[in-house]
Structure 1
Amino acid sequence: MAVAPVPWVIVIGRISVGLGVGMASMTAPLYISESSPTRIRGALISMNGILITFGQFVSYCINLAFTSVPGTWRWLLGVAGVPPVVQFVLMLSLPETPRWLYKNNQIEKATEGLKTIYPADEVGEQLQLLKQSIEEDEANEAAIGNNLITKFRNAMKHPEVRRALAAGVAVQVVQQFVGINSVMYYAPTIMQLAGYASKTVAMGLSLVTTGLNTLGSFISLLVVDRFGRRRLMLVSLVLIVVGLLSLGLVFNISFQNAPHINSYESTHFGKMCKNEHRVWYDKGCPSKFGLLAVILLAFYIIVYSPGMGTAPWIVNAEIYPLKFRGFGGGVAAMSNWSANLVVNTTFLTLTENLGSWGTFVLYGGFSVIGFVIIYFLVPETKGVYLEEIEKVLRKGFRPWPLKQIEDDDAKPAK
């Protein structure tokens, strides 16, 4: 992409990067989970998500450093190619996971791998547990099928799996339709729409959003096991709606109060702005509402990250019956990336047709719909045994007031 002579080369490069990121998003957590001691496995998988958001923050810092360099975008894309090269070289020294080795009948190598993870006196026990786990997985695979169509057919036969899939897919789609990745991807552009015309200033302010996203990921580690996944998502969505509608209002007021520009001014803005000590977007006039827009954008990020940013992934790790967990998690992840594609490819079109304020209001409407869907479809999974979750889904999850109506109907008549 950095050396692209024409736009279609950038598109091809972006497709390649997208395939790589998609593969890594599935294989990296899996590798970590299969290569970690049981007692710290959850923390290391969570750390993967935290480091992703931290990586976004670092990337914005690097982008900021190149904003005034000739050929800015080529440098930004070119520098982004360095970390994958380093990572590729380092990964050549990584061993396969003990689980993969054992499953492929490389028992000795699997044992050696376990010795690097566990104390010597625990290796025998872990090897036996690994054997049992693989045997159970193979039995489950034989029961549900080994191709996608067969697995889907078998999954749909079980009401608890259907409801788990509905809940798991719902939280992943809602996560994207609140507009978070559009905000993250187009943060500098949004900053300019808010009136900060300087690319350097806009990029610098974008560090606020990525920094808060990282902070929110840390906060989620502290609160998600205390407040629960369902409650955290619902509270997060309420605050997201407040943030998005407030952003829409501020952008609308900013638009209504923007100075009128006629055709003469459009062609002579350079002289006019210089005389009036201001510049037009994106060579533009800074808005007096710009700072408030940045504050609201920061609020939106910090209420999203601990709730809708992390809880959907945790729910999908817990809500499926054991034999369908791999299938369910894969379908949910595919739904997440598909929703991501829809939201991000429509963002610029929406801003052109609805305006920035209308786009934020639309995302707010999606968030309201998401709140209703999650409220009625997703049960709480915090501290609940997998067997109990399966029972709840088999019976059918009933939140208030449906639960109250059901209880009243079940009472014997006097």
Structure 2
Amino acid sequence: MAVAGAIIGAAVGGWMNDRYGRRSAILIADFLFFIGAVIMASAPNPAALIIGRVFVGLGVGMASMTAPLYISEASPAKIRGALVSTNGFLITGGQFLSYLINLAFTKAPGTWRWMLGVAGIPALLQFIFMLLLPESPRWLYRKGREEEAKAIPTENLPCPRGINTVMYYSPTIVQLAGFASNQTALLLSLVTAGLNACGSIVSIYFIDRTGRKKLLIISLLGVIISLGLLSAVFHETTSHSPMVSLVETSHFSNTTCPDYSATAKTERWDCMKCLKASSPDCGFCASPSNKLFPGACLVSNDDVKKSCHKEGREWYTRGCPSKYGWLALIGLALYIIFFSPGMGTVPWIVNSEIYPLRFRGVCGGIAATANWISNLIVAQSFLSLTQAIGTSWTFLIFGVISVIALIFVLVYVPETKGLPIEEVEKMLELRAFHYKFWEARPKPSEKGSAA
């Protein structure tokens, strides 16, 4: 519901940016986010919680396209990329902080209310600080308020205050890799969030030195390699999972997985087949001596889970024990290391630079809306895909999409490093699209001399 709200927020935010200005749009986004956090923290029922999520989504969608645009228009060209990347760093740093907060509140009374409610604090702080900042000088200029625009010292403006599926589901991916404990999964996810934040720092340093396009290409090449590694590791994990033992299963009386009891060829059952049973859901209780040895296939519920843990065994419901689990973590870490400095920040920078001033808000809104729609599709389909075709094939599909993205970047994306926004607009006006490649149009004088 938060992502659905973000789609609407991004779409409305584009129109609002052009109509009322960048600063006003950020203030409204902060207000919506704060209200959403308060509603979620005090929610008396699921319906209220959903309403709060929608409010938060509206604010996130609006801010996601407005903040980079505001920073870009108020920054000098030589450090514009670094400042917009700083925005990305603060977002990823916030994600890292959220994992720490969640970890701290796991044992607190009213745990989830604190987790959701504390999100209102940064929104309130940004609302207060935004009141001290001026409107975008370029927006003022477009509205005919030239004297106000000239009076703003753009050289000294501070900047206010992504992969999403991997960040949403990183605890789940860790469990799919064979780490059973929820707390272990959360701790390892904290590491991935930290890597994501560190990647944004790399982007701040290189974006105005290396350029936008090179960072995108390097990023996508690394992402493709990482997804290939993840696909291979999960293939090995699923095809070499521990077997189900009739003796181990019989040890837990009256809790055997019904599908396992009904089959005649129990010797062919392994952990993965046990977890795919659906009448009802089943779990795998690993061997107490070695989790890679044959274990028990049991009905999945809290009582059975406790019985399994009492004997010093690990309980698995998402992924199976595997000796390749650490390789999956390495693949996940590499994915984030490569994604964050390039694909995590550069698209927002390029989108804030390439559109004509008169359409910049609307076009940025369209781009952000497309981003959030894609985000919703991937977020809602990820778990279903892992169950339907397996984790390995799911990551392979993402890898193919990344290859297509690499081709797109090589063919279509222009380099805007170091150019004032007005110069970027002029550069693109002189370009024509021929045979799927950008080519410079000949100037009028060149046409005459050629004739």
TM-score, normalising length: structure 2: 0.64
Q: Please tell me whether residue 202 in structure 1 is matched to residue 185 in structure 2.
A: yes
- Structure 1 counterpart of 2:67: 28
Aligned to 2:386: 351
CA distance in 2, matches of 1:377, 1:36: 25
Matches within 5 A, 1:10-409: 10-33=49-72, 42-92=81-131, 94=133, 96=135, 114=152, 180-261=163-244, 263-264=256-257, 265-267=297-299, 268=304, 270-272=306-308, 274-275=310-311, 277-281=312-316, 286-320=321-355, 324-382=359-417, 386=424, 387-393=426-432, 398=437
- 1:4 corresponds to which of 24, 43, 55: 43
Secondary structure at 1:306 match in 2: coil
SS at match of 1:393: strand
Considering fraction of residues, name the structure with more helix.
1
Partner SS state of residue 341, structure 1: helix
Contact persistence 1:191–1:206 (CA under 8 A): yes
The residue type equivalent to 1:20 in the other structure is: G
- 1:5, distance to aligned residue in structure 2 (A): 4.0
What are the Cα deviations for residues 160-185 of structure 1, in whole angstroms up to 9, with x where unaligned?
xxxxxxxxxxxxxxxx8xxx211011
Unaligned runs of 5+ in 1: 120-175, 404-414
| 1:281 shift after superposition | 2.4
Task: Report deviation, 1:396.
Answer: 6.2
Q: 1:280-319 CA deviation, whole Å, 9 max, x = no partner?
A: 1259865332222111100000011122122222333444
Cα separation, 2, equivalents of 1:329 and 1:368: 25
Q: Structure 2 CA distance, aligned partners of 1:321 and 1:95?
A: 22
Q: Structure 2 CA distance, aligned partners of 1:98 and 1:382?
A: 21
Residues 215 and 10 of structure 1, relative CA distance in 2, 3 Å threshold: same
Number of paired residues? 340
Amino acid at match of 1:188: P
Could you tell me how far apart the structure 2 residues matched to 1:39 and 1:357 are? 43
How far apart are 1:86 and its partner, in Å? 3.8
Deviations 1:259-281 (A, max 9, x none): 34563531455445544x33112
Q: Which residue of 2 aligns with 1:154?
A: none
Take 1:319 and 1:2, find their aligned partners in 2: how far apart are those partners?
A: 40
- After superposition, the C-alpha distances for 1:108-144 in whole angstroms (9 at most, x for unaligned) are 8777x6379779xxxxxxxxxxxxxxxxxxxxxxxxx
> Is the contact between residue 320 and residue 390 of structure 1 (CA under 8 Å) also seen in structure 2?
no
Rounded to whole Å, the distance in 2 between the matches of 1:352 and 1:110 is: 55
- How far, CA to CA, are the matches of 2:120 and 2:75 in structure 1? 28
The answer to whether the 8 Å contact 1:195/1:287 transfers is: yes
Contact 1:236–1:307 at 8 Å: present in 2 too?
yes
Counterparts of 1:358 and 1:116, CA distance in 2: 49
What residue number does 1:409 align with? none
RMSD of aligned Cα (Å): 3.6
1:248 is matched by which residue type in structure 2?
S
Q: Take 1:284 and 1:195, find their aligned partners in 2: how far apart are those partners?
A: 5
Percent of residue pairs bearing the same amino acid type? 53
Distance 2:210 2:129 in 1: 39
Change (3 A) 1:231 1:41: closer
Deviation at 1:226, TM superposition (A): 3.9
Letter in 2 for 1:335: A
Deviation at 1:77, TM superposition (A): 1.3
Which string of whole-angstrom CA distances, capped at 9 and with x for unpartnered residues, describes residues 5-27 of structure 1? 44333222211110011122233
Query: Which letter maps to 2:330?
Result: I
- Long gaps (5+) in structure 2: 1-39, 250-255, 258-296, 441-451
The answer on whether the counterparts of 2:68 and 2:352 sit within 8 Å (CA) in structure 1 is no
Partners in 1 of 2:417 and 2:96 — Cα distance?
30
How far off is 1:188 after superposition? 1.4
Kept in 2, the 8 Å contact 1:378–1:397? The answer is no
Shift of 1:37: 6.7
Higher mean displacement: 337-346 or 94-103: 94-103
- Indicate conservation of the 8 Å contact 1:68/1:200, yes or no: no
In structure 2, give the amino acid aligned to 1:360.
F
Q: Equivalents in 2 of 1:72, 1:182: separation in Å?
A: 24
